Amino acid sequence: MKKCYINGTGCVSSQKTINTAFLQDIIVNENENVLELSVPDYKEVIPPAAARRMAKGVKNGIVASHWAMKEAGVHNLDAIITGTGMGCCIDSEKFLKALIDNKEEFLTPTSFIQSTHNTVGGQIALGLECKAYNFTYVNGAVSFESSLIDAKMQLDEEEAATILVGGVEENAEATTNFLQLTGIIKPKEQSSYSVLDSDTTGAVFSEGAVFFVLEDDKKETTYAELNDVTIYNTLEKEEVEAKLESFLKGNGLSVNDIDAVVLGYNGDTLYDGYYTILADGVLKNTQQLYYKHLSGEFNTASAFGLWVASHVVKLQEAPEVLSVNDVKAAGYKNILLYNQYRGKDHSFTLVSQC
């Protein structure tokens, strides 16, 4: 069975994460309930003629994938696999509003075409003229992990050697308003919004695009080996520990072998208990890291989490801004990631130094 190496990454987020050293220019913003995107230079990557119809999610996806491929030094892909929980919200809303406002008349096709969930993957393929396998996963907070599972199987089975995989979400006005109405996004004027010291429900949201080049060969740019990924649609808090242990066992490991765990804390008091039950229990003596205070919450925020974990393994350093507890590992051989969203779409991901 072939191995799976993370050989390149590209990250567009609410932080400055393009063309900068790992977490060099971090700003911890606890004043906004929706973190603004740090807009990358689109023109550097996308010709204006091609960009003219693209909403920001598509552009961010193309930019992130461009940098991931550049870093890995790859030009040809055997598969493009994208995860996006909410898809292309901006164009969906645009078309839907026009439809309602104009009573189904004088509608134009562009926003409808761009509203399709697989627009990002399709546009990346179109730009690269890549005729390879092209899948898009759209299942909430496991959209990105589903993409990883698919990619890993294809590398295992030697159906593919070089795969581009990523997660993308974009914020759109109405969708963001709706999520505030339901309380999923924390209300405005409730700041400051601390993730770890939160006493309110809901989360601070944001958006972004994080892409990875996964290959079956280790090379100079390799960050880490992606060992395993598993997902569960629903778990009770009491079930998480057993699932975590069986996941590790499946990889010949136990909790003692884990040097650091990256947890998906988002400051939602209704659901952060899924993390604390582990943090106060089986992972008590393990170094604990978090990242959603930097990235904000969104369906594929866990891709930002993997981006963080990959860097920690590669650089053998975990910046203080990521720390949840005081435990410090001597080195970072095995890192476990656990994420869930509102008690659903749980995922365990394991990466290791190689």
Partner 1 sequence: MEALKQELKEKIIDVLNLEDIAVEDVNDNDPLFGDGLGLDSIDALELIVMLDKDYGIKLADPKEGKAIFQSIETMAKYISENRTK
Partner 2 sequence: MSRGVAITGMGIISSIGNSVEENFNALIQSKPGITVIENITTVHKNVIKVGEIKKTNGQLAAELGLAADNNYSRTAMLGAIAAKQAVNNAGITDINEFNTGLISATSVGGMDMTERFFYDYAESDEHRRYILSHDAGDVAHKIADQLGLKGLVTTISTACSSAANAIMLGARLIKNGKLDRVIVGGTDALSKFTINGFKTLMILSDTYNTPFDNDRKGLNLGEAAAFLVLESDAVVKQQNKKVLAYLSGYGNANDAYHQTASSENGDGAFLSMEKAFKISGLAPSDIDYINAHGTATPNNDLSEGRAIIRAFGNNVPEFSSTKPFTGHTLAAAAAIEAVYSVLALQNGVVYPNLNFKTPMEEFDIVPQTELKEKEINHVLSNSFGFGGNCSTLLFSKS
* Contact residues: partner 1, CB under 8 A: 48-49, 52-53, 106-110, 113
d(CA 130, CA 134) in angstroms, rounded, equals: 9
Note whether 233 and 339 are within 8 A (CB).
Answer: no
Shorter beta-carbon distance to partner 1: residue 53 or 333: 53
DSSP 121: H
- Judged by CB under 8 A, the residue of 104, 199, 320, 326 near partner 2 is 104
Note whether 262 and 308 are within 8 A (CB).
Answer: yes
10 Å CB burial of residue 42 (0-12, 13-18, 19+) is: middle
Sole residue written with tokens 């603004």: 36
d(CA 294, CA 38) in angstroms, rounded, equals: 12
- Judged by CB under 8 A, the residue of 60, 345, 349, 352 near partner 2 is 345
Distance of CA 60 to the CA centre of its chain: 13
Residue 340 makes contact with partner 2 by CB under 8 A:
no
Residues forming beta bridges with residue 214, ordered by sequence position: 6, 163
User: Which does residue 21 touch among partner 2, partner 1, none (CB within 5 to 8 A, set by kind)?
Assistant: none
Least Å distance between CB 108 and partner 1?
A: 5
Residue 112 makes contact with partner 2 by CB under 8 A:
yes
Shorter beta-carbon distance to partner 1: residue 110 or 233: 110
Residues forming beta bridges with residue 234, ordered by sequence position: 344
Residue 51 makes contact with partner 2 by CB under 8 A:
no
Sole residue written with tokens 């958006």: 207
Residue 142 makes contact with partner 2 by CB under 8 A:
yes
Which residues contact partner 2 (rule: CB under 8 A)?
Answer: 80, 85-87, 92, 95-97, 99-100, 103-105, 107-109, 112-119, 121-123, 125-126, 128-140, 142-143, 146, 149-150, 153-154, 156-157, 174-175, 177-179, 181-182, 184, 230-235, 299, 344-345
